[in-house]
């Protein structure tokens, strides 16, 4: 493999076995990083790992439940034992639950979304950061959403969690800049993934409205996130921290 931006870097991507996570994982691997896919569906992990190993044969996968701190600790121990360090963390794992209006969302659904999308980021980051601090170097990328910016009546917990991601990113960036650890977030726009599968057929009018509002005149695909993730993972962004970058084809400009 030719020398590249992330040569010899060790990356963890949660929820990296599909969709945006896999698109980012492939981008990091193409730039030379050894990527560890960490997600709960091990069948999907193995399938995704096959794709990554075609790019970088050193990549690994790990069965991770982001809401279980024991498996988080096991992941960190596995990576440190095998590779000796963690250079890059991409907190991507996420879910959504919908209701016609916010008050109709059940308490359990609210809790599940906040636990997976926000609380788990704190748990994972808190376990990995000490290794970055020790090495006086690290890149943390938290995946937000357009809902970090805009509200939505049908996905209130998702919007609340993604808004929290941005503020948590800023807090960590302020605290850890002195250790040469940069913390940023990416805000994907409307991306074709399993989470949005069937959106066009179920909500044709809203789909058309999204296309009309997006200057790029299309939905994004997972690989559209790769370039921004590579930038935020590399030394090119060493003076960039606490920022949120929208990758949305211009949707949020209006």
Q: What is the CATH number of the domain that holds 177?
A: 3.40.50.720
- In-domain check, residue 3: no
40 and 13 in contact (C-beta within 8 Å)?
Answer: no
247 and 220 in contact (C-beta within 8 Å)?
Answer: yes
- In-domain check, residue 5: no
Sheet with 88-91, edge to edge strand ranges: 60-63, 34-39, 10-14, 88-91, 138-143, 181-188, 244-247
Q: Which of 154, 158, 179, 207 is catalytic?
A: 158
- In-domain check, residue 4: no
- In-domain check, residue 40: yes
What pLDDT does 196 receive? 79
- In-domain check, residue 1: no
Considering only CA atoms, which of 143, 140, 13 is closest in space to residue 75? 13
34: which DSSP letter?
Answer: E
What pLDDT does 3 receive? 57
Q: Is 154 a catalytic residue?
A: no
Q: How far apart are CA 48 and CA 19, in angstroms?
A: 10
What pLDDT does 49 receive? 98
- In-domain check, residue 136: yes
Q: How far apart are CA 200 and CA 195, in angstroms?
A: 12
121: which DSSP letter?
Answer: H
**Percent of the chain's residues with pLDDT above 70:** 99
Mean per-residue pLDDT over the chain, rounded: 96
- In-domain check, residue 137: yes
What pLDDT does 95 receive? 95
- In-domain check, residue 148: yes
Q: Which domain holds residue 178?
A: 10-253
- What is the number of structural domains in the chain? 1
């Amino acid at each position: 493999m030719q020398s590249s931006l992330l040569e010899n870097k060790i990356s963890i991507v949660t929820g990296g076995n599909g969709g945006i996570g896999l698109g980012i994982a492939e981008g990091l691997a193409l730039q030379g990083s050894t990527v560890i896919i960490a997600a709960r569906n091990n069948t999907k992990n193995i399938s995704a790992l096959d794709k990554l190993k075609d790019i970088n044969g050193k990549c690994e996968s790990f069965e991770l439940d982001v809401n279980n701190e024991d498996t988080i600790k096991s992941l960190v121990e596995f990576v440190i034992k095998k590779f000796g360090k963690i250079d890059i963390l991409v907190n991507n794992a996420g879910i959504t639950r919908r209701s016609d209006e916010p008050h109709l969302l059940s308490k359990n659904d609210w809790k599940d979304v906040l636990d997976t999308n926000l609380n788990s980021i704190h748990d994972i980051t808190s376990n990995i950061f000490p290794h970055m601090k020790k090495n006086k170097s690290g890149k943390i990328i938290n995946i937000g959403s357009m809902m970090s910016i805009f509200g939505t009546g049908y996905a209130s917990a998702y919007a609340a969690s993604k808004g929290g991601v941005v503020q948590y990113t800023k807090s960590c960036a302020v605290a850890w800049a002195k250790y040469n650890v940069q913390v940023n977030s990416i805000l994907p726009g409307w991306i074709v993934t399993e989470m949005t599968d069937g959106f066009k057929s179920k909500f044709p009018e809203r789909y058309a409205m999204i296309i009309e509002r997006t200057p790029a005149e299309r939905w994004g695909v997972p690989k559209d996130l790769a370039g921004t993730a590579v930038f935020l993972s590399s030394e090119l962004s060493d003076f960039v921290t606490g920022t949120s970058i929208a990758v949305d084809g211009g949707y949020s400009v209006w």
